[in-house]
Amino acid sequence: MFPLALLCLSLLPLSCLSSPEITPPSPENIVADQLARAWNELRKFQDAPRGSEVPGMSRIKQYLGKFGYFPAGDSSNFSDTYDENLEASLRSYQSKLGLPVTGSLDRSTLVQMVAPRCGVHDNHGSGSGWSGLPRRYAYFPGRPRWMPGRTQLAYWVSPTDTTDYLTIDDIRQVVGRAFAKWSAAIPIDFMETRYLEDADIRIEFYEGDHGDGEPFDGVLGVLAHAFSPENGRLHLDRAETWAVDFKSQKSKVAVDLESVALHEIGHLLGLGHSSVRDAVMYPSLLPRTRKTELTADDVEGVQSLYGSNPNFDPASLQTVGQSVDSDAPPA
């Protein structure tokens, strides 16, 4: 199973790979060639009428099934027909991702499917937040959390399952910043350990099939995944071009390590995906984009599980959007 960007690339004829096609529309202002080519293939599905049959439509069903939207079943039997199950799945997907709920393969939905994202599925529960209004953050089924009374968790960054272009010190520094931001909101301290046997949480880079049943898929597909409490595993796709600083990492497919680490730590704490586009826990992240500040939605979600850090000031929260690197090379 692959994210749709790579699913679509597998369908492209060689002539399409070299043709000067358009790039995805806003908000994808900075995109890699891979995303542009995937978008060009997806355009054939745009506004397809219900009941129609379009070659490759089964790949969209596979994508929706991967992330928790399509009815369970044998994905090899998915048809290329735009049936009622696909329409219902699209409505659920659009609602969860904060898109107009049309049940159609419209432009905004197809653009969202192309975006690189977290590998954790989106089908988590909802309810009410602080205000009593419907909340947009979510939890894993059963609301798992770390055992009550735990005020400290130890994390370990693998010195061997890593990348060959980032130093271990750079990775540790970035991961430490990400943990500190969650710790500022809840009464849990995160301490690094150099010994795996002492760790509650382990952070590793892997590529392809790495033995957890969730294989990675290469550049700009699934970026990372993490497991619910108290599993403690956080895996990042080594095939990505990870950046700790966009000024030194000029690749147009570079992915911000701190943004992804911050998101995956939310999963380690028990949060699912949010439908708030600016939230850290929103499932997708574009290349050369930073989301390194928790939003009110993120904080409300995690504090509903663990309570508030006594030193946390809710007034310090702002509406925080994505930061796109202004020095990015042209797509």
- Tell me what pLDDT residue 19 has: 33
- Tell me what pLDDT residue 14 has: 30
Annotated binding site for Zn(2+): 118, 210, 212, 225, 235, 263, 267, 273, 281
Read out DSSP for 271-283? B---S-TTSTTSS
Q: What is the pLDDT of residues 14-41, one digit of tens each?
A: 333 333 333 334 434 445 566 777 777 7
Q: How much of the chain, in percent, has pLDDT values that exceed 70?
A: 80
Active-site residues, by number, are 264
Domains of the chain: 40-114 (1.10.101.10), 126-313 (3.40.390.10)
- Tell me what pLDDT residue 11 has: 39
pTM, rounded to two decimals:
0.85
Q: Which of 4-18, 190-204, 211-225 shows the lowest per-residue confidence on average (mean pLDDT)?
A: 4-18
Annotated binding site for Ca(2+): 200, 217-218, 237, 240
Q: 133 or 223: whose pLDDT is higher?
A: 223
Q: What is the pLDDT of residues 74-132, one digit of tens each?
A: 566 789 999 999 999 999 999 999 999 999 999 999 999 999 999 999 976 554 443 34
Query: Hey, what long-range contacts does 149-154 have (CB within 8 A, 24 or more apart)?
Result: 150/188, 151/187, 151/188, 151/189, 152/188, 152/189, 152/190, 152/191, 153/188, 153/189, 153/190, 153/191, 153/200, 153/201, 154/190, 154/191, 154/192, 154/193, 154/198, 154/199, 154/200, 154/201
Mean pLDDT of all residues in 235-257: 94
